[in-house]
Amino acid sequence: MVQVEVRRTIAAPPERVFDWLTDPVNLTAAPLFLRAGWVNGVSGPSVGARREVIVLGAWLREEITGWDAPRSYSYRVIRSVPPANHEGGTVTVTPSGDGSDVTWATGYTVPALGGGKLTEAVTLPIFRSSFRAILDGCAKALER
């Protein structure tokens, strides 16, 4: 299984950081994330809400599985092309001095049909870099 975890301290209040990170449009702060948004008329995040993410070379349908604003939310990829078995992901925002510590963790495996271990090896640095880019985008937007 692939485990991805990135951390970043952002000089902004946890509520603002959490709100920014839960807006799927902001996922496009990562260059390879081409489009993201809520599906089926959902206008905001909550348990059961679904979002669609188009990444260069992949499509993901995700469902929010846990919601504890402004501290954390969890999600799971429920469908994807290429196929993957997502163990779930969690974004945690913790107050830290005048800012917020953010941890983004996720785990997944790719079946042989989706390229297996080769796809896992290729996607690990891509997702790690993309999550860092999203957190960098959050810092850039909120630390002005």
Q: Which one-letter DSSP state was computed for residue 116?
A: H
Residues 6+ positions from 33 with CB-CB distance below 8 Å: 27, 53, 54, 55, 130, 134
The pLDDT score that the predictor gives to residue 132 is: 98
pLDDT at 124 over 80: yes
pLDDT over threshold 90, residue 24: yes
Question: What is the C-alpha to C-alpha distance for residues 82 and 60, in angstroms, rounded to an integer?
Answer: 9
28-76 per-position pLDDT tens digit: 999 999 999 999 788 788 999 999 999 998 999 999 999 999 999 999 9
Q: Which of 106, 133, 136 is nearest to 120 (CA)?
A: 106
Structure confidence at residue 12 as a pLDDT band (50, 70, 90): very high
Answer yes or no: CATH 2.60.40.10 is held by domain 2-142: no
Return d(Cα 66, Cα 78) in angstroms, integer: 14
Q: For the chain, what are the domain ranges?
A: 2-142
Kindly state the DSSP code that residue 141 receives in the 8-state scheme. H
> Residue 144 pLDDT more than 80?
no
Q: Would you give the distance in Å from CA 113 to the centre of its chain? A: 24
